[in-house]
Each structure stands twice: as structure tokens, then as C-alpha cells.
Structure 1
Amino acid sequence: MKNQIKIIDLFAGPGGLGEGFSALETENGDFPFQIAASVEMEPSAHKTLTLRAFFRQFRGKEVPKEYYDYVRSGGRGDLDEVFSEYLEQLQAAKDETLGGPKALGSEDHDEIFQAIEDALKNHKGPTVVIGGPPCQAYSLVGRARNKGNKSYQPEEDARHFLYQEYLKVLDLVNPDVFVMENVKGILTAKVNGNPIFEEIQKDLRHPGKAVGNHGSDVEYDLYPLAVEIGKGRAKYSGKDFVIRAEEFGIPQARHRVIILGVRRDHQHKVPSSRLLGQWQTNELITADQVLYDLPSLRSGQTKVLKNDYQAWLDNLKKAEGHASLTPALRNAAKKYAREAGSRPSVDPGQGLPFVEQAEKNLQRMPEALQKWYLDKELEGVPNHQARNHMPEDLHRYFYASCYAEINEGLSPRSADYPDELAPAHKNWKSGHFADRFKVQSRHRVASTVTSHISKDGHYFIHYDPAQCRSLTVREAARIQTFPDNYFFEGNRTQQYVQVGNAVPPLLANRIAQVVLSLLCDRSHKIM
């Protein structure tokens, strides 16, 4: 396609933002956005990114059977051997992801910048830079952790200044548009007592000058996506840049700062409206609507000699005995324990790197989401494997999910648990960890999926008491709106981290449509 819009994806992770842009399809079947270069430093995320880049080589075409075979195998085999008949497309994917993990702000700098220049060589159409610097230094959890470290000095934390690498790429590329994403904590973060978000905004308006290129006259106007845009309005408050993903059809209460930067020569094309307004909705998508069709699983148990199905059922029976605070709770516990054991000869299992599924019950999933998530060639779901949990934690999971079932989806707080289910740490009743165990309620929008899901599942308990477990990687990916044919590489912990750190691809797809509307004019006609 002539004048295709080229994307430079920075701090790409597994590729959530890039997936949303590259998957945008016009009414006449064109894919206007093409990722020219993706930069990611973590090896497992980079491998995920490369595999998806290979998949993208076949956008609008028939995806090779070998891709589905690889996913169904759980990612076994060397990519060069698995895709030996498609080495040209595989090489294009490797080129797109710079041939290996690369870190901005490191000794990889020259190689990254040269690769970006090469990827855009002879490109005459529009360019877009997307991405978000790592958020650990800005997140509230990260700042709380740093506050407890007496030797921590914010001005010495390089993560506070990784956005400057983003600025250097803006100065190199001079894109028509950029999209920068980060956590809400960036709005209140300070270095040397100065609010860092104000500094970031100032630098984003004049990226060349901010990085010392005083000959640069390229300037950007910064726009929020979820509030009304006023003609002639030059300044917005920090909270204006916060997008509440659940308000735009995402099944997750994910609130993030997203800045849309538009080069001054395009400023006249920005409409006076809420840019994401056409996707704003009061009809929230619940956890059940996007998880219900996935195969039921059970958890495993750690620190037990026997870890078979009967042992799990026996433990669930013990869990039932704790749920006796009220008649309603007792009845719910009996119901779900009985449901779990209704077919004791049929073990649902803990799942696998790929779980086969011939048919799906899709009555609860909106049709538009079915089109987004599902791939009939897949015949199952990857990355769907339940964790092992300590038996005592499974008692708490079972109690919490039964409690939520009879209390309109509310998770119990620490004061609501019977004493025999209290974990052995002194702060349990202090109020500081009142919601340490949280159910992703059936008929509510899910909580924010974060990288902490990789450490334990306590905050991500499945709503079905009969499954008594935390969410799998695939369920977390569904909540994050990754399509089912998106395979996450690495071990399970690495997969959870990738999913938790990503931008929801469906939200990115909505943003891509806004960007496309800004760039479709006579000089950049792409449709």
C-alpha cells in the first residue's frame, strides 16, 4: 500500500500497543499501520514480540498451518526450523524486532537508532511513535517500596529519566503523531521536589530542544483522548490525560495516562470533541463475558504428597467446612463443593500450555469481542494452565469466591474471614492488607491486571468457586484484550509479567482509529 503509516514501537513489551495499531483494518480490507521497528530489552517478551511480528507478515492473508502447530505445541522448537518454509517472513519479523533484545539508554543506543533510521529509509508516508517508558519509578507501589529504602534517591534512579530516550527517538524521527502511555502515578511523582509530569509535558512539546538539538524547530501539541478538546485550549490538567479503559469497552478497570502528541503542522486537523468519544459506553464488559467460554480447570496443591484430583476434592471439602459464618454462605459453599465433585471420575486438570477446545459457548460474549478474540483455526487456547497453591490459600480462595457469589460480587475483606482462615502475618487485622485476597467478580469489570500477578494469585481469584484457583495467563490476557492466537513465550512467570505490563490491544486499536483520522488527508491518502 502506498504511503502506509510506519510505526516505531518503544519499550514494546510483548507488543500490546503495536498489536492494536497493526490490527486496524479499514472497510476495504487494508491495514494502514505497519510496524517498522519494535524495541524491547527483556528476552522472553522479545521472543513473544518476534513471533507476533511473524504472524503479522500474513495480515489479510492465510496464516500458515505451521504457526498454529507451533502454538498448539506450547511453543516447542526453534523458530528457524519450525518456519523453515517461511524464512523470508521470519527474517522480516526479526528485522522488525531489531534481531534481538535491545535496551534504550544502554550501549545498544547506536544500534537501535541506526535500525530505526534504516527502517524508515525512503519512507514517504506518515510516521507514528508509540510506547511508554517503564513505570516502576512512577507507580504508587514502586514509590512506596522506594520510600522504605533510606538510601533511595529519586534523582539517581535512571528509570525516572528513560522518557528522555523516548524524546531522542522523537527528535530522530520527527513523527507526525506520537502516543505515550504510563501509570497514573506519574502525575504525582517528583524529583528534587519538582513534579515530573510537568517537566515531561514541557519536553514533549519541544523534544529536539529538550535533548540538546537547538537547531530543531519541530513542536507538538499535546492532547488528552477522553475529555472534550477545546479550540485554542493549550493546557490540560494532568487528570485530563487519564483514560479509564472500562469506559471504552475494555473488561478491566485500568486507568492510565495516555498522551497524544500531534505535530504542529497537523494541529488544524484535531477536532473539537472527545477524541475517543465514539467508543465511550455505559455498558461495561464484565469478567464473565470474556472468561466464561474458556475451559474449566482446577488448581494444583503445593507441599502435599498426593496432588491428584481426589486430593484436591478432599481439600475443597475441608474448605467447605470453613464457610459457615452465615446460612447463605454455608449453602453456597455446599453448592460449589458439590458442583466440583459432581463428576469425580472426570478431572478437569490444571490445563496445559495449549488446551484443546472443539466447541465454545459464546452466548455471553458480545459479537464484536468474539471477532476480536477468537480464531477458528486455533481449536483451543494457549497459555491456559492453573498454578499450584498452598492448601490453606485454596481454603481462602474458596471462601472468598463463595462470599462474592452471595454478596453481589464483593470480595471479603480481612475482617470478614473466620479466624481459622487468617494467614500467619501480624498485619492481617491491621487494615493495611484488608483486601489481600480479591475475587475477580463474575458480573463486574475486572481489576487492573498488573505484573504482580506473576508473584501470586491472591488478588486475581477466579470467580467460580468450583474451580478454586487464581487466573491463568490466558484469562489475564483475555482481560487485557489479547486475541487468543497471541502466544506468550517464556516460562509462566515471565508470561504473567508480559501480560501485566502491556497496554490492552483493543484500547490501542481505538486510539489507532483516532490517529488514522488525523493522518488521512490529501497529502497522506491511504484508503
Structure 2
Amino acid sequence: MALNYIDLFAGAGGLSEGFKRAGFNPIAHVEMNSHACNTIKTRMAYYHLKDNNQENIYLEYLKQNIDQKQFWESVPNEVLNTVINTEISDDTIKEIFNKIDSHKDSKNVDLIIGGPPCQAYSIVGRARDPKGMADDPRNHLYLHYVKFLKKYKPKMFVFENVPGILSAKNGEFLEKIKEAIDEAGYIVEHKTLTSKDFGVLQNRRRVILIGWKKNKNLKYPTFENFPMQGEIMKDLFYDLPKLKPGEEKVPASYTKPINEYLNLSKIRNGIDFTTQHVARNHNERDLEIYRTAIDLWVNKGKRLSYADLPSELKTHKNETAFLNRFQVVDPKGVCHTVVAHICADGHYYIYPDLKQVRSISVREAARIQSFPDDFFFEGGRTAAFKQIGNAVPPLMAEGIANKIKEMIK
């Protein structure tokens, strides 16, 4: 029998995708961003159709042969209505509880997953804010998370956040979170985990708090490393068609057969094409900077410093901060952390090949985050990049979920 979970601050559903693949059943997803909610609705519709041997309807949607309205009408309303598009606040929490109660019927909530928005805890966010994010109301969203623990009394929970949560207010925030969780009747432990240990080709570090009821004799799990360490160009990008700046190939047929990494990671998962292989357009100045950065990194192993650019390629005078703003994805290793700022420009995620001078496509960013190729992000290119940058890598989530499943039973 499937274990049931609620996903809070769900984003585009990266964490949920991992738990779904591990056999868990979602009762509800709660998320304030409408594009991200639509993405989860589409994913839940996909799983419903797959379970009922109607996956061909989803493929028609990916191929753009039917529109979103037609696609969503192909599944029962109760599937889509499990996605609750609202901010979690004092004003909305009672209504959210009522909606979840109507969805769950007599089912138990075995698990709560999710992580409050991380900007208030992130080191970069604190550095940019004059008050170090001290007055940001998002600092206290953990209190709402704890209210869900008190209401639904799950056997366990998973709380994900950025490493900056460890140092926010010199550790004071983390201690307050732990105190609130203790008062709710749970033991909690945390570790900083790195996504590449789970097979994700990205050096993404996240603090994962795992908690269980005080009457359970449990301890923080040990995770096995992924069976292989892939490389960006050789293993992750190698089968996607070439793109020029501003070009899109939707759907995009694979240029090569599946390899070991794409199979083990479940990124290529059965269909013979992928979607959202869409690249940004770039002006000539940026393209010239990209060429310089690619040549330096790929051929000489050096990173481009903004201060070293010729004056005709510089657009501002700040030569002391963020000098690495133009960064090439490492072709022979793993990528640096993909963040939500990728939706604003692609300078920090330059494709590592002088034959394709551009920033990475939506699908390439999704692959770096380990999303499967049939995962569709709603809302257009900019919204898709933002959702991808904010997500928990599904491959990492699945590794965590498999251990939670062992513990919870």
C-alpha cells in the first residue's frame, strides 16, 4: 500500500517527482506560483494517464497536437484539484487545511515534504539586502510548516533548504526551527547533502532536515552514492540536437542512442523525443564574451574575469564584485549550482562548445537538474528557467525518498 504525502512550498515538483518515483502517493501540493502549479498539474495528469494506459494523450500534448485545456480535460478534476495554488499564510492556512481534508478522505498523511522559499536564508540574498534579510517575512514560514506537522501528525517529514540556513543569524534561525519541531513532537536531524553524490551532474549543496515522531527509534539515514559519475558533454548533452542562439526545436529528436548515464538517471525514460529544447537569443557583444569565456575554460582551464575583458565589451564600471558573472558549464565534470537567476540571463550558464556559442537551453538546464525528458514546465521559457533553478533535483529526491520509505515502514 502506497505511503501518502503532502508537498508544501512545492515549486515545480522536483522533490515530489522523486517521492512519486519511489512509490509514494501525493495527497496535495501547495504552491503560490501559478506557473509552477500548472507544471505540477500537468505532471499529475501525466501520471494518471500513465497509470491508465493512456500515455499517448500526454505525448500528443508534448507534440503540441492538443492544447493545455484539451489535455487537462482528459483527466478527472480531482487529479488537478490536488494542486493548491495559494500562498501559505495566517490568512489562508485554514482554507488550505479544508482543501487537503477534502482530498485525503480517510487516508493517513504518512509524510510531509517541502522547504520554505530559501531567499531569506541564502547567503547571496542576505548579502544583497541592507538588513541581511532580517525583516523578510519568509524567515518565519517554517512556523507554517510546523502547523502542518501538528495538524496531520505524519510519521516523518523532510525539510529542504539552502546551506545559508545554517549561518542565518549565526545559527539562530536553525535553532528556532528545531525548537518548534521539538515542541510539535518530533526529533529532527540535519546534514548538508550534495546532489552529485546522488548522480546529479551538478555541484548543488542542500541542507536536508529529516524528522520523525519521538516514539520512533530512528536515526538520520546513510545514502549510497550513485553507481557512476558522469560528465556534462560526454554523458548529459551528447544526444541533444545542436542549437543556434534564439533557436528552438520542439519536439526535439535525439541524435544518438541512449547511454548508460541517461538510462541510470532516468533522464531518457522511454519516449523518442524531448521538448523545450529552446535557447535564448544573444546580442553580438555577449556572444563575443561567450566565445572568450569558452575558449579560456575549454582550451586553457581558466575562468573569465570580467575585469580582464577589453573595454569595448564592458557595460559597467564595477570591476570588484561578481567578476565571474560569465561562467561556462564544465564539459568534463559537473555543473555549478543552477539557481533561479537563470531566468534573467544565461551569462552564468554558457554552453561549453565553440561550435554552439550560446547559453544553455531549457532542456539542458532541466537535465542538469536531473528532470526526465518528458517533464514539461508550464508558463514559457522564462518561467521554466525559474522553476528549474528553484527545484530540488528529482534524482536526489528519489534517493532520499527510497531511504525514507525504508525508515517509515
Common fold by TM > 0.5: yes
Structure 1 residue ranges (4+ consecutive) displaced by more than 4 angstroms after TM superposition: 152-155
Is contact 2:62–2:251 with CA below 8 Å preserved after alignment?
no
Match of 1:223 in 2: 189
Provide the rounded CA distance (Å) in 2 between the counterparts of 1:164 and 1:54. 31
Partner SS for 2:332: coil
Q: Against the structure 1 CA distance between its residues 502 and 514, is the aligned structure 2 distance closer, same or farther, given a 3 Å change threshold?
A: same
Q: Please give the TM-score of this superposition, normalised by the length of structure 1.
A: 0.73
Mapped partners of 1:248, 1:139: distance in 2: 23
Return the alpha-carbon distance in structure 2 between the equivalents of residues 421 and 393 of structure 1: 11
1:136 is displaced (CA, Å) by 1.1
CA contact (8 A) 2:241 2:255 kept: no
Say which SS state the counterpart of residue 57 (structure 2) adopts: helix
AA in 2 matched with 1:424: T
- C-alpha separation between the residues in 1 aligned to 2:181 and 2:14? 22
What does residue 360 of structure 1 align with?
256
Equivalent residue, structure 1, for 2:103: 119
Q: Quote the sequence identity (%).
A: 34
Pairwise CA distance, 1:277:
3.0
The CA RMSD measured in Å over matched residues stands at 2.2
Displacement after TM superposition at 1:117 (Å):
2.3
Of 290, 293, 297, which residue of structure 1 is paired with 2:239?
293
Separation in structure 2 between the aligned mates of residue 470 and residue 486 of structure 1, nearest angstrom = 21
Q: TM-score, normalised by structure 2?
A: 0.93
Alignment partners' CA distance in 2, 1:458 and 1:153: 26
For 2:315 and 2:106, the matched residues in 1 are separated by 63
- Equivalent residues of 1:279, 1:510 under 8 A apart: no
Paired with 1:142 and 1:64, the residues of 2 have a C-alpha distance of: 41
CA distance in 2, matches of 1:511, 1:386: 32
Aligned to 2:295: 402
**1:62 and 2:53 correspond:** yes
Tell me which of 125, 138, 146 is aligned to 1:142: 125
Query: Using the alignment, how far apart are the partners of 2:298 and 2:103 within structure 1?
Result: 53
CA gap of 1:399–1:290, structure 2 versus 1, over 3 A, is: same
- Aligned partner letter, 1:19: E
Name the structure 2 match of 1:82: 71
Q: In 1, distance between residues paired with 2:313 and 2:254?
A: 41
Q: Is contact 1:276–1:510 with CA below 8 Å preserved after alignment?
A: no
The Cα of 1:59 is off from its aligned counterpart by 4.8
Q: Cα offset for 1:142? A: 1.2
8 Å CA contact 2:377, 2:384 repeated in 1: yes
Q: Which range moves more in the overlay, 456-465 or 105-114?
A: 105-114
Q: 1:94 Cα deviation (Å)?
A: 1.5
**Aligned counterpart, 1:242:** 192
- Corresponding residue for residue 108 of structure 1: 92
What CA deviation, in whole Å up to 9, does each residue of 1:280-321 have, x standing for no partner? Answer: 67x533222212211110114xxxxxxxxxxxxxxxxxxxxx
1:130 maps to which of 110, 113, 123: 113
Structure 1 residues 31-89: Cα deviation after superposition (integer angstroms, max 9, x where no partner): 3x100000011111110011111112145553432211111219x6243x3354x342x
Q: CA separation of 1:154/1:480 partners in 2, compared to 1, >3 Å: closer, same or farther?
A: closer
Aligned-partner Cα distance in 1 for 2:187–2:363: 38
Alpha-carbon distance, 1:446 to partner: 0.3
Contact 2:325 2:348 in 1 (8 A): yes
> Partners in 2 of 1:255 and 1:155 — Cα distance?
23
Q: 2:182 is matched with which residue: 196, 201, 205? A: 205
* Cα-to-partner distance string for 1:114-155 (whole Å, 9 max, x where unaligned): 12223333125x6100000011111112111212xxxx5855
Instruction: Summarize the alignment of residues 213-362 of structure 1 with structure 2, pairs less than 5 Å apart.
Output: 219-224=185-190, 241-266=191-216, 268-270=217-219, 275-279=221-225, 284-288=229-233, 289-300=235-246, 350-352=247-249, 354-357=250-253, 359-362=255-258
Q: Tell me which structure has the larger Cα radius of gyration.
A: 1
Question: Relative to structure 1, is the Cα distance of residues 375 and 245 closer, same or farther in structure 2, using a 3 angstrom cutoff?
Answer: closer
Question: 1:279 Cα deviation (Å)?
Answer: 2.4
Q: Is 1:393 aligned with 2:393? A: no
- Show CA shifts across 1:388-444 (max 9, x none): 111100001111112222124x43223554x2564121123x3x2221110001001
Q: Tell me how far 1:93 sits from its aligned partner.
A: 2.0
